[in-house]
Amino acid sequence: MAPESRRRVFTIAIIAFIVGLLFIPSLFQSKTVKTISYSALLGDVKSQKVVSATVDNANGVISGQLSDGTNYTANGPAPAISSEIDTLKSNNVTVTFSNPSSFASTFLPYLIWILIFAGFMIFAGRQARGQMNGMMAVGRSKAKQFNQDKPKITFADVAGYLGVKQEISEVVDFLKNPGRFRDIGAMIPKGMLLVGPPGTGKTMLARAVAGEAGVPFFSVSGSDFMEMFVGVGASRVRDLFNTARKQAPAIVFIDEIDSIGRKRGAGVGGGHDEREQTLNQMLSEMDGFDPTEGVVVIAATNRPDVLDPALLRPGRFDRQIVVPLPDLEERLPILEVHAKGKPLDPNVDLTMVARGTPGMSGADLANLVNESALHAVRRHSTTIAMEDFESARDRVMMGQERDTMVLHEEERERIAFHESGHALLAYVLDKTDPLHKITIIPRGMALGVTMTLPEEDRHIMSRQHLEDSLCMRMGGRVAELLVYGDLSTGAADDLQRNTDLARRMVREWGMSKEIGPMAWGSNNQVFLGEDLMHTRDYSDHTSQMIDDEVERILREQEARAIEVLTLHRRGLEALTRALLEHETIDGLEAARLIDEAHGEPVHTRATKTVSSLTGPAASPAVSVEAPEPTTPEVPVAATAEAAAAPAWKPPTLPAV
């Protein structure tokens, strides 16, 4: 029984005992007892009305029964007078004498109260000791120890990450068979730091180590070391390593180590003494004057840049294992693991789903599978179909549809032109990602979305790809300028993202001839450095040059977008009409409309790929076949509208 339950039962028992002591004796007392005077009793004796009498030698109380069955009690002399006793006997009264024990009559009531008081004091003492033990235990480690009795995860349950599992499995092998490593003179790393974005499975890998190791495994979060009391963090670190050292070989896993391992002395107003003392104790335990033998520390963080350099040096965390976002070959087995046991429709192609989810972490993929199952339930379906995965991906990447939002027809048309501008440039430009879907249905915070999906995972990007991306984002703004002759607030996010990208091209990636091969990193956060405000490491003149170059790049791409959209004005209008009619079209249909409006294939060699939503048989990247060159008939209304549109003269592009 838990301590709280025992305490509750004991309290209830004490209360019940006191209540019973007070009220139970009165329940057994006769309700017909009649109190009479001693003289009246003698008169009743002489009248033959008394049947029995019990005389208490201690206090002279006489009790008994009258002839009518009534019980009586009377206070007589103590000790009883012998002549009166003879009178009782001579009148046929059965006389008995009561000699109660002096201990029972005198001390028993006091003894009961003494016992009650003693029980209360014992209870209060235990409570006080428990509180003192709790205060004394505040410095003990909160690490959870895993053993073989608990359900375990092995490396077989972790999909992908073969290189990561190989490095971690070396630690497991050393703990199981240390002699094989010592014979060759190899020393196991004392610490391994798992570094990666959130959701990539760092904690799951550590749980797999616990399942594979067969040795004591202690798991603790970095925040568990911090408390409101001074010195608690360092005390818990000592207790954790002492416990692990006693059960060595053992593994200690510290999740989110950046909460206690941040750079010392950084931040506004200096460092945090309690956190720094905790870090100092951890540094000492990992590789101090008395090094720990047989205890391997595995830590996880997604912010390695904030960690103290002393924590990362060899001898403490010897290895930093990067757990990156899964690539295409790893996303497929991760999806298969999360889809295991779920009723999938035969038309579901997880390979296609994996190709359409670049940049998603393992947690994102798990959420994608769960969202698809929820969508299937909303359709009242017993299986998860491909359309459920498509809807789930749209929800995750673009947001939930806002069916309740009602747009005016003018707003709806402007949004259609805006998204058509993005989509046309995404198809016409060579280095943009394949066009996947265009929709004017409001999703999340956006009123419309143009979605592109890369054919494969991309790790570096060329300048041409970046410039095409800038130009494509300018498509919505430029389309509104060409059609309406003015601007709206719909391009705010596009402009913000383009400005950030262009600034990085100039400041960090050296993609400006004026600036040259020089780089200035992004602003550091306050808690990372020693200064309150970030100080520039370049002059005002250089700052002006950076601003000028960013402006030049953005204006060049705007002029380029004007030139392309002016050339493909008919395709822009065709896409807009299709969006106003269907609200959502896929990349293959958009490419067909643009080619037909242009009169010939935009990409004559079918080098541009687009994505199709037309079914599981179609691959996510479909080459656009070159149709026969035709000259489409342009309606008179469309010609008049094009003639009435503002005449834009594309600016002359400077030589690169």
The pLDDT confidence band at residue 96, using thresholds 50, 70 and 90, is confident
Residue 4 neighbours by CB distance under 10 Å = 8
The pLDDT confidence band at residue 637, using thresholds 50, 70 and 90, is very low
In this structure, the answer to whether residues 288 and 298 fall within a common structural domain is: yes
- Evaluate the omega torsion of the peptide bond into residue 249 and state whether it is cis, within 30 degrees of 0: yes
Assess if residue 638 is contained within a domain: no
Considering 291, 322, 353, which residue would you say is the last residue of a domain?
Answer: 322
- CATH code, domain carrying 43: 3.30.720.210
In this structure, the answer to whether residues 472 and 492 fall within a common structural domain is: yes
Residue pLDDT, tens place only, 312-369 = 888 788 788 888 888 878 888 888 888 888 888 888 888 888 887 887 888 888 888 8
Whose tokens are 């003990």? That residue is 140
In this structure, the answer to whether residues 392 and 491 fall within a common structural domain is: no
Residues 539 and 404: beta-carbon distance below 8 Å: no
Q: How many domains does the chain have?
A: 5
Considering 289, 306, 322, which residue would you say is the last residue of a domain?
Answer: 322
Assess if residue 649 is contained within a domain: no
In this structure, the answer to whether residues 521 and 534 fall within a common structural domain is: yes
In this structure, the answer to whether residues 81 and 96 fall within a common structural domain is: yes
CA dist 349 to 146, 159, 332, 385, 617, Å? Answer: 38, 18, 10, 9, 9
Pick from 522, 553, 582, 558: nearest CA to 651 = 558
Residue pLDDT, tens place only, 182-199 = 778 777 777 888 888 888
- CATH code, domain carrying 301: 3.40.50.300
In this structure, the answer to whether residues 97 and 111 fall within a common structural domain is: no
- CATH code, domain carrying 367: 1.10.8.60
In this structure, the answer to whether residues 259 and 355 fall within a common structural domain is: no
Assess if residue 9 is contained within a domain: yes
Distance CA 194, CA 191 (A): 10
Assess if residue 632 is contained within a domain: no
The pLDDT confidence band at residue 65, using thresholds 50, 70 and 90, is confident
Active site members:
419
In this structure, the answer to whether residues 150 and 16 fall within a common structural domain is: no
In this structure, the answer to whether residues 421 and 513 fall within a common structural domain is: yes
- CATH code, domain carrying 470: 1.20.58.760
Distance CA 40, CA 250 (A): 92
Tell which phi-psi region holds residue 62, choosing left (phi > 0), alpha (psi between -120 and 50) or beta.
Answer: beta
Of 166-180, 264-278, 282-296, 443-457, the one with minimum mean pLDDT is: 264-278
Assess if residue 422 is contained within a domain: yes
Pairing relation of β-strands 144-146 and 50-56? unpaired
Identify the pLDDT of residue 150.
53
Sign of the dihedral defined by the CA atoms of residues 350, 351, 353, 359, in that order: positive
The amino acid present at 30, given as its one-letter code, is S
Assess if residue 309 is contained within a domain: yes
Distance CA 11, CA 13 (A): 5
Residue pLDDT, tens place only, 244-287 = 788 777 788 888 888 777 777 665 444 457 777 777 777 877 77
Assess if residue 245 is contained within a domain: yes
Q: Which residue range forms the structural domain that includes residue 295?
A: 144-322
Assess if residue 536 is contained within a domain: yes
Query: Hey, is 437 helix, strand or coil?
Result: strand
Residues 6+ apart with CB under 8 A from 163: none
Residues 293 and 249: beta-carbon distance below 8 Å: no
Query: Hey, is 467 helix, strand or coil?
Result: helix
Residue pLDDT, tens place only, 428-449 = 998 888 888 888 888 777 888 8
Whose tokens are 């790893």? That residue is 330
In this structure, the answer to whether residues 435 and 570 fall within a common structural domain is: yes
Distance CA 339, CA 345 (A): 11
Distance CA 594, CA 571 (A): 5
In this structure, the answer to whether residues 181 and 246 fall within a common structural domain is: yes
Identify the pLDDT of residue 327.
81
Structure token pair of residue 431: 């280095």
Identify the pLDDT of residue 469.
92
Considering 376, 398, 420, which residue would you say is the last residue of a domain?
Answer: 398
| 288: pLDDT strictly greater than 70 | no
| 302: pLDDT strictly greater than 70 | yes
Residues 6+ apart with CB under 8 A from 46: 87, 91
Residues 6+ apart with CB under 8 A from 373: 342, 384, 388
In this structure, the answer to whether residues 168 and 230 fall within a common structural domain is: yes
